[in-house]
Amino acid sequence: MSAAEILTAPERAGHEGASPLLEVEDLAKHWPVRRGLILARQVGTVRAVDGVSFHLRRGETLALVGESGCGKSTTARLVLRLIEPSRGALRFDGEDITALSGASLRRMRRRMQIIFQDPYASLNPRLTVGEAIAEPMLVHGIGDAASRAARVRELLGLVGLASFHAERYPHEFSGGQRQRIGIARALSVQPELIVCDEPVSALDVSIQAQVVNLLKDLQARFGLAYLFIAHDLAVVKHMADRVAVMYLGRIVEIADKRALFADPRHPYTRALLSAIPHPDPARRGRVKPLGGDVPSPMNPPPGCRFHTRCPHAAAICREREPPAVEVAPGHRSACHFARELPPAGLDFSGGLTPAAARRLALFASAGRPAAASV
Amino acid sequence: MSATTAQPAAEVRPPRRAGLLRRLLRDPGAAVALVFAVLIVLAAVFAPLLAPTDPYDNDLSLAMQPPGSPGLPLGADSQGRDMITRLLYGLRVSLLMGVAAVAFGGSIGALLGFLAAFYQRWLDGPIMRLMDMMLSFPAILVGLAIAAIFGPGIFSVVLALSIATVPLMARIARSSALVVMRLDYIEAARATGMTDFRLIWRHLAPNCLSAIFVFGTLRFGQVILLGSALSFLGLGAQPPTPELGAMASEGRNFLFFAPHIAVIPCVVIFAIVLAFNVLGDALRDALDPRLRV
């Protein structure tokens, strides 16, 4: 059972009332671009992340989606204070962590962990799996050697590996197994927040399901909050409670997953959603793919950043930057026409006949235990 | 859905992995090199027990006797001293100089290289410019300066060779550390909240070891040659102290009449350098868990 399924509606409402675990306000990261060998002049600024605000509640999954280079991963690293923000504020559990440093920052790191995209690069090849999983506990002075070893065995079991795997080295494992080792390492210090930086995009599709289900399982068990970076909307639809769509360093739309998929109020979100392949020949020709490229973050277009590719762009879009407007409770969209946009005209049920949809659902429910036990 | 977490892995334990030594000996070339290196080191350590004569015992009537002369399997040098004895004692001095210079200069250089790569923003420029300055002085010049300060002798040679090794090792360590620094596991280590010292010691340094090992062994050979050159210039081992390089340069004058005086020490230097290079290469492979079978 996943958290989303366990929690009933009133419980969810209660969660929403509680103070958020993570609050991000106007966060920005600008990288200077320098030219010249000896006297490097700054010739420009890459606005990788340019004023991002969101919050994340305990036990919740917020997905950050967007094209490559839109600033998702930079946002993730900013949240973890692995890189220094150029602007903005970070609050974790009510405490301002924007300026933490030294020992207090290291203590804070225990409460938020990260899972990486590339399971081959994220484990130190010189440490055994046991050493890698025990190290965060050692660093934070948790337990003694024996209790840490016991905890390593427990964690390995939790992620579906055997306790004797602790003595092995990372290169002896497959990509999916390594990803689960990375998850065990992140869990070892019992964090409250885990940043998942595209945790399944480097894995085979069959393994993706395992890892995603494992993550949901662990969330239900330990009440973890996930900041889930992804570009695969199918995975997001399965994982997330809320979704934030990023474009060129900004969040253009943020909403509850259901609201976002059912009634997207930003043209970019619509373009992303319409790019999901559907097994429906009748849809062919009705979907217009987005033309053009993402503009350079060194020189973002004036006004709305999306106007160069937007099918609904008007004069105002070229001149004024759209503020994020609340189109429904918890649903904000940064578009001048957020309220006026015509119905999306996309049938996200997949455009299937009801009978075919039922058959597919049956197939999915029958297939799941088989897929999970691979 | 708990099926995903309770996935039982096959309870089959793998056979115990071979130890470092056995992995090393699996490669026949490495085995030969290891045996040779061990013999060389033992010969140097037990030189006083193995040498047939005293290294300073000369008998001018035997001067330049060719190898194979009665009682002198490798002949005698220009002073009529037994070549075997001279070689055994020469090994001691040469090996000691090489080991000391590579260990001392190499570890300082590696540390500086790691610091430059790790604190790239603040330390990279200052440290590496300092290394460039050090690189611009030839080792011989450094040796001359140090001999002028401390007087000629083995200590001066070791110090000069260490100083000459520092910037080279710093460059090697820095470049391989820069590659490792970009990998996710360094970021993962930082995200766990460990201290910089631990990060460098446990995560950065071990993953740069292979480059350092290979360079260290290569440098060991170069250092022995450089030390010999310094000895030849009169800055290092002082005659009559036996030293391989000094012996070779001494024999240079008699190359046409008694080539063995120069050739034999050169062959020994060559063999030592070759053996340590092969050994370093094999050690790197044996130490790398990714290549373990």
Question: Which pLDDT value is given to residue A371?
Answer: 45
Q: How confident is chain B (293 residues) per 10-residue block, as mean pLDDT? A: 42 53 80 89 87 80 81 81 88 89 95 94 92 89 88 88 94 94 90 91 90 83 81 78 83 86 88 83 73 54
Question: Which pLDDT value is given to residue B14?
Answer: 47
Question: Which pLDDT value is given to residue A75?
Answer: 93
Question: Which pLDDT value is given to residue B7?
Answer: 43
Contacts of B199 in chain A (CB under 8 A): none
pTM, entire model: 0.77
Contacts of A121 in chain B (CB under 8 A): 183-185
Residue B13: inside a domain: no
Contacts of B213 in chain A (CB under 8 A): none
Nearest-CA distance B20 → chain A (Å): 14
Average of pLDDT values for A109-124? 90
- Of the partner residues A125, A185, A189, the one whose CB lies closest to the CB of residue B207: A125
Nearest-CA distance A140 → chain B (Å): 8
Contacts of B198 in chain A (CB under 8 A): 139
Q: How far is CA A177 from CA A174, A209, A232, A301, in A?
A: 5, 13, 21, 43
Cβ contact (<8 Å) for A160 and B187?
no
Residue B249: inside a domain: yes
Band (A310; pLDDT cuts 50, 70, 90): confident
Average of pLDDT values for A174-181? 90
Q: Give SS3 for A196.
A: strand
Question: Which pLDDT value is given to residue A200?
Answer: 87
- Of the partner residues A77, A121, A135, the one whose CB lies closest to the CB of residue B183: A121
Average of pLDDT values for A3-9? 40
The Cα–Cα gap between A160 and B68 comes to 71
Question: Across chain A, what does the average pLDDT equal?
Answer: 83
Q: Which residue has the higher pLDDT, A254 or B240?
A: A254
Q: Which of A79, A117, A126, A374 to mutate to test the interface with B (most CBs of B within 10 A)?
A: A126
User: Residue B2: closest CA among chain A residues belongs to which residue?
Assistant: A217
Q: Which residue has the higher pLDDT, A4 or A78?
A: A78
Which domain covers residue B262, as residue numbers? 37-47+81-287
Residue B23: inside a domain: no
Contacts of A82 in chain B (CB under 8 A): 187, 190-191
| Selection from B148, B137, B135 nearest residue B234 by Cα | B148
- Of the partner residues B4, B8, B185, the one whose CB lies closest to the CB of residue A213: B4
Residue A156 pLDDT > 90: yes
Number of domains in chain B: 1
The Cα–Cα gap between B239 and B147 comes to 16
Residue A373 pLDDT > 90: no
Q: Which of A1, A111, A124, A216 to mutate to test the interface with B (most CBs of B within 10 A)?
A: A124
In B, residues 204-233, which contact A (CB 8 Å cutoff)?
206-207
Contacts of B206 in chain A (CB under 8 A): 124, 126
User: Residue A189: closest CA among chain B residues belongs to which residue?
Assistant: B192
CATH number at residue B180: 1.10.3720.10
Residue B216: inside a domain: yes
Question: Which pLDDT value is given to residue B251?
Answer: 84
Nearest-CA distance A182 → chain B (Å): 9
Q: Count the neighbouring beta carbons within 10 Å of the beta carbon of residue B212.
A: 24
Cβ contact (<8 Å) for A171 and B290?
yes
User: Residue A188: closest CA among chain B residues belongs to which residue?
Assistant: B192
Residue A255 pLDDT > 80: yes
Residue B55: inside a domain: no
Nearest-CA distance B12 → chain A (Å): 9
Question: Which pLDDT value is given to residue A4?
Answer: 41
- Of the partner residues B2, B188, B194, the one whose CB lies closest to the CB of residue A217: B2
Do residues B43 and B91 make contact, with C-beta atoms less than 8 angstroms apart? Answer: yes
- Out of 1.10.10.10, 3.40.50.300, 3.10.180.10, 1.10.287.1060, which CATH number does the structure's domain A1-31+43-101+202-374 have? 3.40.50.300
H helices present in chain B, as ranges: 20-25, 28-45, 47-50, 83-118, 120-135, 139-150, 154-181, 184-192, 196-198, 209-232, 244-251, 260-287
Question: Which pLDDT value is given to residue B292?
Answer: 54
Residue-wise pLDDT for A213-253, tens only, equals 999 999 999 999 999 998 888 889 888 999 999 999 899 99
Cβ contact (<8 Å) for B193 and A373?
no
The Cα–Cα gap between B201 and A139 comes to 13
Residue A99 pLDDT > 60: yes
The Cα–Cα gap between B135 and B168 comes to 8
Question: Which pLDDT value is given to residue A6?
Answer: 40
User: Residue A155: closest CA among chain B residues belongs to which residue?
Assistant: B5
Q: Please, what sign has the CA dihedral across residues A112, A57, A217, A236?
A: negative
Q: Count the neighbouring beta carbons within 10 Å of the beta carbon of residue B28.
A: 8
Contacts of A159 in chain B (CB under 8 A): 5
Cβ contact (<8 Å) for A213 and B11?
no
| Selection from A62, A87, A348 nearest residue A226 by Cα | A62
Contacts of A140 in chain B (CB under 8 A): 192-193
Domain boundaries, chain A: 1-31+43-101+202-374, 112-190
Question: Which pLDDT value is given to residue B108?
Answer: 96
User: In DSSP terms, which residues pair with A251 in a beta bridge?
Assistant: A246
Q: How many residues does chain A have?
A: 374
Question: Which pLDDT value is given to residue B1?
Answer: 40
